[in-house]
Amino acid sequence: MIGIKKFFSINRKNTRAQAMVEFMLVMPVLIILLYGIIEVSRLIFIFASVSNASRQAARYGAGAGEVNDGTTFYQDCEGIREVANESAILTEFEDINITYDRGLTEDGEQVPIVDIDPNPDSDTCPIEDNLIQNGDRIIVQVTANYEPIIQILPLEPLTIVSANARTFLISIPIFGSAVPTGFRAESPTPSRVPTSGVPTETVLPTFTKVPPISGTQGIRTPFNTLPPTLTLTPSLTPPPTWTSSVTPTFISCTGVTNVSHGGLEFEDNTMSMNIINNTGHRLTAAQVYVEWNHDNGHDGSDATLRLTQILFTGQTPWNGNIFAPSAFIPAYYPFIPNGSSTVVFVFNQNYDNLDGTERIIITIGTPGCTNYPIDSSK
């Protein structure tokens, strides 16, 4: 019995030693596996941080309005980089590049803005305010480096790059409110409705008869009396007067009575459009909007174009000096006469180069036509 117990006691000691040896053999593999999981997780986390940083920074830069000091968001370079760095967790960004372009062509190639390198590897922030127009984009590229904590695994250092672009909406034309198309305008027509006025006198005769003879029984004594008298009594009778009442007249800008337009025409330093008003009424413009190639429209040392005047058939011209890719004309509400008329936009130099952004939109304010703007692009 003693021998058997001793045998089992020795066997248990051997088993413990064997387990320890096996654990020591497996432990390096477990450590490498655990370390690999940690490193891959770090790599994925850094990639997500870089991607999120570029996205949030581009979203901030494309925001409308201004920051507290009056700087537009797309010119707030420090603010854009600060937003990007807020996503830097477990890493530090090597580069944060900010640039701009005019969108993509059908082939996917970037359209550059004048004097601006659209390559995300370049940094062109801040950009001049007068170079940005609707449809332009801000591009933010964030770069970070990944290096393993310990060189146990054959993991090489990696450069992680993420670029994100957002489109600007500098100004949006508003085409009027949703007024029913069957709205009726008012035009006065006469209506025979009597109303009270200043009273006038009308003479009506009344008669008083005095008997000519009076006397006693048996004796007829003549009695002289005056002839019948005429008494005039005035009465008030108001005369009829005439007032006008309002009768609605239907105005429609659809169908046969629509408002149409011709294409844009360019001659020397002008851009014009012909308008045909078939409604039979004079219409009022509520807003005038225009887009043009302001930064590269002229062949010469100074390629810029400034809008200086607007001429509308038979009306007082608008005068100003606007340098922008697009503009709502301030305090300008011309009328659109019945029939054919022409609106002419005059620039400071000849309009030589068209870039496809040229557009005129005239929003009509007359009820019945507010839903039908005159848009040269349609």
Q: What CATH number does residue 345 fall under?
A: 2.60.120
Question: Are 264 and 152 members of one domain?
Answer: no
Q: Which helix (H) or strand (E) holds 77?
A: helix 77-85
Question: Are 148 and 283 members of one domain?
Answer: no
Question: Are 138 and 264 members of one domain?
Answer: no
Domain end residue (candidates: 167, 202, 233) = 167
Q: Are 343 and 275 in contact (CB under 8 A)?
A: yes
Identify the residue whose tokens are 């692009």.
377
Of 104, 125, 4, 155, nearest to 57 by C-alpha is 125
Q: Which helix (H) or strand (E) holds 32?
A: helix 2-61
Residue 240 included in any domain: no
pLDDT in tens, the chain (378 residues): 555 555 555 555 566 777 888 888 888 888 888 888 888 888 898 999 999 999 999 999 988 778 887 888 888 999 999 999 988 887 888 889 999 998 888 888 888 888 888 888 989 888 887 778 778 899 999 999 988 887 777 777 889 999 999 998 766 656 554 444 444 444 444 545 455 555 555 555 555 554 554 444 444 545 455 555 555 555 566 666 655 555 555 677 776 668 889 999 999 999 999 999 888 888 888 889 999 998 889 998 899 999 999 999 878 889 989 988 888 898 888 989 988 999 999 999 999 999 988 999 998 888 878 777 899 988
Range of the domain at 110: 23-167
Q: Are 183 and 281 in contact (CB under 8 A)?
A: no
Question: Are 161 and 292 members of one domain?
Answer: no
Residue 353 included in any domain: yes
Domain end residue (candidates: 141, 167, 193) = 167
Q: What does the pLDDT read at residue 308? A: 94
Domain end residue (candidates: 143, 167, 191) = 167
The whole-model pTM stands at 0.46
Of 315, 298, 187, 307, nearest to 251 by C-alpha is 187
Residue 329 included in any domain: yes
At residue 324, the 3 state secondary structure works out as coil
Long-range Cβ contact pairs of 145-154 (< 8 A, separation 24 or more): 145/91, 145/94, 146/42, 146/43, 146/46, 146/91, 148/39, 149/38, 149/39, 149/42, 150/35, 152/32, 152/35, 153/32, 153/35, 153/36, 153/39
Of 343, 181, 368, nearest to 281 by C-alpha is 368
Q: In this structure, what are the phi and psi dihedrals at residue 255, rounded to the nearest 5 degrees?
A: 65, -140
Residue 287 included in any domain: yes
Q: What does the pLDDT read at residue 201? A: 54
Question: Are 274 and 152 members of one domain?
Answer: no
Q: What does the pLDDT read at residue 5? A: 56
Residue 277 included in any domain: yes
Phi-psi region of 207 (alpha: psi -120 to 50; beta: other; left: phi over 0): beta
Residue 234 included in any domain: no
Identify the residue whose tokens are 């009597």.
194
Tokens of 307: 């809008």
Instruction: Count the domains in the chain.
Output: 2
Residue 131 included in any domain: yes
Q: What does the pLDDT read at residue 164? A: 93
Question: Are 151 and 38 members of one domain?
Answer: yes
Residue 172 included in any domain: no
Q: Render the burial of 82-98: b for 16+ CB within 10 Å, e for the rest.
A: ebbeebbeebebeebbb
Q: What does the pLDDT read at residue 315? A: 86
Q: Are 374 and 366 in contact (CB under 8 A)?
A: no
How far is residue 162's CA from residue 84's CA, in Å, rounded to a whole number? 11
